[in-house]
Homo-oligomer: A and B are copies of this chain.
Amino acid sequence: MNQQLHFITLSTKDLDAARDFYVRGLGWEPLVDVPGEIIFFQLAPGLTLGLFDAEKFAQDQGRPGTISPVEGVTLSHNVESREAVNDAVERMRNAGGEVVKPPQDGAFGGIYHAMVRDPNGIVWEVAHNPGWRVESDGTVVLG
């Protein structure tokens, strides 16, 4: 089994709120948008985020009736400077995100970061990490 991830799918209670936040608020372009079912966004080469209606998510996992909020997960978006962290957090707040950790130096890894919750409770970290880079072939380097 190769060391690969192709989709991240998150249980999403309010797809319309998600569309408002990501598409209208952040300007992201869906790969596929099936109202009432799922919205897909490509977020890295070969990698798709799926926001999946919570009831259908539970059904697909073979646990019909169980509607799980997303817990224990952070999705991280890295930017090139501390100022860009501040700007992205402001944009997310204007789009309807809730700032749960304002921009500050992190306890781990020498980063400057913030945490913002989307309208469905999904936590995004926005970070400037001087010890991280991606090489031209996609290889991740953690300093």
State whether A60 and B7 are in contact (beta carbons under 8 Å apart), knowing that A77-B1, A139-B42 are contacts in the complex. no
- In the complex, A28 Cα to B5 Cα: how many Å? 12
Contact between chains at B49 and A46 (CB < 8 Å): no
State whether A125 and B7 are in contact (beta carbons under 8 Å apart), knowing that A45-B137, A72-B68, A108-B56 are contacts in the complex. yes
Partner of A107 from the list B2, B45, B60, B74 (CB cut-off 8 Å) is B60
20 extra interface residue pairs, beta carbon distance < 8 Å, beyond A1-B77, A3-B29, A6-B134 = A1-B91, A3-B28, A3-B41, A3-B42, A4-B78, A6-B44, A6-B78, A7-B125, A8-B73, A37-B108, A44-B47, A44-B138, A45-B46, A45-B134, A46-B134, A59-B107, A61-B101, A68-B71, A68-B72, A70-B72
